[in-house]
Every structure is written in structure tokens, then in C-alpha cells.
């Protein structure tokens, strides 16, 4: 953890010193503006208005200035802001992006606040781990989303399936039973590598291994190959393409036709399904991806956002207070219920118990993971060698050979 330098030197007159740093509430008469960057569609206008009004009402002399950013090109924009002479005070970033920003050595170390004020011991690992670099916490978990199984209740009933499967083995048996009479047991595209990652983690494998900062691809390990073998078995129980991902064609539209029993997707796919086929409104059910043992959901990739504070934040003390509010129980509950997100703590999962799809997502999130915590991982995804590996295996090619090729490509990219 980096040593912190105080913005103002300690002096005998501690109160005056703190007031000079702007750390005492109500110190000075000028309005303090906290500049916040949030990403497009992360929050609704209603949520943002509620939070802003409540926060400003509770903090005299503080004004929140929120700027909505686009995801396209955000990496370069954030990097330039944190390296400049005084950028925004608080920035929302993707949970898997924290490593690349921390690599600049321009993020404020939030380890102390994480332990002392924010209850970090209960954070979802899939959000907390990507924000922790070299033992220091630079990203504060904000919200999460992960894949669940969306299923067609009518097709389950027609096949005599009266409850969701509890284990991966049962999932295969159930899906085979559903894959009859002109219906697909599941629609699973051949290159849905985020779903594959969960199966690999369930087997004790990794996408890449870190040995003292040296990253190596790990798709060729026995555990990873077992995960791919399960994926192949599941994918064969439907008509998903072997050489395309879930966007080609859009899987929500395929499911909406009404002849697919199951789909692995984040709940944000539900509006797209219902837009394409409103008749499915009361026919959708949801459950977490099953794990190897009953009662333990399968591992899933967690997407979502963390909050970071740049070292050059003009008002770091105020920024810290805003982050604590956004990451605290009150606004986590509001955010989860209004946006359909998973809260940042496992102990808050019950706040979405009345929302079936979100509740299934929260149950799975407890066993969530993130992609390898390397600053170069985004480059792996840019020209993703995992996808052709998956297609090769699904098309019957030598799995071990294809895995070694993909692992080597990952190793080379992470070494750049």
C-alpha cells in the first residue's frame, strides 16, 4: 500500500489545520463542488435526482456536479483525466478496468476507508477483487450484474419439469429432457466465453494464472478443459451457433420465438425478450446457474462498476464522503431496487428478494468472479483468443491443442 501524504501538514492547532484542508463540515462559506463522472445508463434520472437532492440537503455548502460519460472511448478519457492537473473527484469505472487505471499510479488508495468505514469484508468478491491491486483497494464496489438462467415455464411444464435443476449434473439431464418435440433445451452460442469462465472456475481452473506479477494463459490446464467439456455438453442440447457469440444473432430475440426452454443471460435481456414477444410476460422464470453441489450456485462472471478517486481530485475529502454515501446501505438499497442491480454486499441480497430475476442474480453473485486482474486484460478481450478456442472444441477439433494455442496468445498479450 502506498504511503499517504497529507494534503496539509499537521500542526499544533489541529482544528485550524483541518479546516485549511477543507476537512471540517461547514468550514468556510464557499460552496464546495464535487465533480462526479458516471457512465451512460448506469443510473436512472430519477435515482440521480433523488440522490443529489438528498445529499445536498444533508451537506450544507456542497454541490454535486454529475457528468454522464459514454462507454465508447472512456479508457483514454479517464487515463488523461487522472494524469492531468485536477480532474473529476469521483469516477465510475467498470470493475475490470480498475487495474489499468491503478497501473498509472494515479489513483487514491482507499484501503483504510474500505476497512474502517465501508465494511469491505462483506463485499462481493467479483467487485472487490478487481479493485484491489497489490494489496491496496483502489476501487470501491458500487453495483453488480451477472448471468442467470431465464426459462420458459410453459416448455418446462410440457416436458414434465416442475422445478429448476439444483446441480450441474441435474441441469444436463433436465436440459436433455427439454430438448425435444421441436424445442431447444437451451440456446447457448458457441463463443459465450463469460459463461465458459464460470464453468472453468467451478472446476478450480483459471483463464490466466498470476505468479509474482507474471501472467500466463491457463486454458490448457485439466481444470479449464473440464470446464470447456461441460460447456460443450450443455451447448449440444440446443441449436446455438458454434462459431458466433451471443450477439450474432441477438440471443434475446432467439429466445423470444418461444421454442427455447432456457437462456443464460443478465436480466437486462428480459425487456428485449418481452419487446419481441409480449406474450411471454407471465411465462418467464429465473434461477441462478447451478453449481456442482446442491445449494451452491455455480460460479459466474460479475460485471458492474467500482468508484475510484484520482490522486489529483480537487476535493478529496468531499469525494470520499460521496463515495461512502453511494456505497452505503441506504443508497445501495435504493439503487438495487430501482435499477435491478445486485448490491455491493452479500448481506444486502435480501433487499431485492421481491424481484424474482434480481434475486436469482444476487444468489449467483455470491459465487461471482471477475476476469484476471491484469492491466492488459482488456487487450486480451480486444482480439479474444478464447472464442476461436471454444469454436474449435465445439467443432470436434483437438481440445488440448486448441487450448494451448489460446493460452499462448493470452500469455503473450498479458506480457505486453
The pTM assigned to this predicted structure is: 0.88
Helix (H, G, I), strand (E, B) or coil at 236: coil
Residue 86 φ/ψ region, left for φ over 0, alpha for ψ in the -120 to 50 degree band, beta for the rest: left
285 has pLDDT over 90: yes
The answer to whether the Cα torsion of 288, 294, 295, 300 is positive or negative is: negative
Q: From CA 407, how far away is CA 222, in angstroms rounded?
A: 13
Q: Which of 376, 414, 370 is nearest to 75 (CA)?
A: 376
Q: From CA 61, how far away is CA 33, in angstroms rounded?
A: 8
pLDDT in tens, 21-66: 333 444 445 889 999 999 999 999 999 999 999 999 999 999 999 9
Whether the upstream peptide bond of residue 110 has omega within 30° of 0, thus cis, is: no
The CATH superfamily of 147-300+373-414 is Periplasmic binding protein-like II (3.40.190.10)
20 has pLDDT over 70: no
Helix (H, G, I), strand (E, B) or coil at 188: coil
| Residue 95: DSSP 8-state | G
The CATH superfamily of 25-145+302-369 is Periplasmic binding protein-like II (3.40.190.10)
Query: To 10 degrees, what angle do helices 45-58 and 316-327 make?
Result: 120
Pairing relationship of beta strands 284-287 and 262-265 according to DSSP bridges: unpaired
Q: Where are the domains of the chain?
A: 25-145+302-369, 147-300+373-414
Q: From CA 205, how far away is CA 225, in angstroms rounded?
A: 9
Q: What pLDDT, on a 0 to 100 scale, did the predictor assign at position 13?
A: 32
pLDDT in tens, 176-231: 999 998 899 999 999 999 999 999 999 999 999 999 889 999 999 999 999 999 99
Q: What pLDDT, on a 0 to 100 scale, did the predictor assign at position 372?
A: 95
| Residue 23: DSSP 8-state | -
| Residue 342: DSSP 8-state | B
Amino acid at each position: 500500500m502506498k504511503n499517504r501524504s497529507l494534503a496539509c501538514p499537521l500542526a499544533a492547532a489541529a482544528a485550524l489545520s483541518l479546516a485549511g484542508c477543507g476537512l471540517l463540515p461547514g468550514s468556510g462559506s464557499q460552496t464546495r463542488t464535487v465533480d462526479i463522472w458516471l457512465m451512460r445508463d448506469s443510473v436512472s434520472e430519477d435515482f440521480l435526482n433523488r440522490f443529489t437532492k438528498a445529499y445536498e440537503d444533508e451537506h450544507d455548502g456542497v454541490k454535486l456536479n454529475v457528468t454522464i460519460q459514454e462507454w465508447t472511448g472512456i479508457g483514454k478519457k479517464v487515463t488523461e483525466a487522472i494524469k492531468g492537473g485536477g480532474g473529476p473527484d469521483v469516477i465510475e469505472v467498470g470493475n475490470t478496468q480498475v487495474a489499468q487505471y491503478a497501473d498509472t499510479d494515479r489513483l487514491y488508495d482507499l484501503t483504510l476507508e474500505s476497512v474502517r468505514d465501508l465494511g469491505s469484508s462483506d463485499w462481493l468478491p467479483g467487485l472487490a477483487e478487481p479493485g484491489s491491486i497489490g494489496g491496496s483497494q483502489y476501487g470501491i464496489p458500487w453495483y453488480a450484474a451477472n448471468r442467470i438462467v431465464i426459462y420458459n415455464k410453459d416448455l418446462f411444464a410440457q416436458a414434465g419439469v416442475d422445478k429448476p435443476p439444483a446441480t450441474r449434473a441435474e441441469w444436463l439431464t433436465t436440459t436433455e429432457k427439454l430438448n425435444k418435440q421441436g424445442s431447444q433445451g437451451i440456446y447457448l452460442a458457441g463463443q459465450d466465453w463469460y459463461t465458459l469462465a464460470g464453468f472453468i472456475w467451478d472446476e478450480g481452473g483459471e483463464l490466466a494464472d498470476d505468479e509474482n506479477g507474471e501472467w500466463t494463459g491457463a486454458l490448457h490446464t485439466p481444470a479449464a478443459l473440464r470446464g470447456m467439456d461441460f460447456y460443450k455438453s450443455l451447448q449440444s442440447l440446443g441449436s446455438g451457433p458454434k462459431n458466433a457469440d451471443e450477439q450474432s444473432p441477438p440471443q434475446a430475440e432467439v429466445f423470444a420465438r418461444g421454442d427455447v426452454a432456457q437462456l443464460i443471460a443478465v436480466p437486462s435481456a428480459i425487456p428485449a425478450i418481452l419487446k419481441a414477444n409480449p406474450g411471454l410476460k407471465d411465462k418467464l422464470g429465473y434461477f441462478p446457474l447451478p453449481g456442482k453441489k446442491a445449494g451452491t450456485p455455480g460460479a459466474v462472471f460479475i460485471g458492474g462498476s467500482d468508484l475510484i478517486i484520482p490522486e489529483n481530485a480537487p476535493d478529496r475529502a468531499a469525494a470520499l464522503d460521496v463515495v461512502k454515501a453511494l456505497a452505503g446501505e441506504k443508497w445501495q438499497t435504493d439503487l438495487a431496487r430501482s435499477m435491478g442491480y445486485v448490491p455491493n454486499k452479500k448481506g444486502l441480497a435480501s433487499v431485492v428478494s421481491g424481484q424474482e430475476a434480481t434475486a436469482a442474480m444476487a444468489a449467483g453473485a455470491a459465487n461471482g468472479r471477475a476476469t484476471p486482474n491484469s492491466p492488459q486484460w482488456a487487450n486480451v478481450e480486444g482480439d479474444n483468443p478464447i472464442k476461436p478456442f471454444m469454436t474449435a472444441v465445439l467443432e470436434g477439433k483437438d481440445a488440448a491443442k486448441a487450448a494451448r494455442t489460446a493460452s499462448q496468445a493470452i500469455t503473450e498479450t498479458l506480457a505486453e
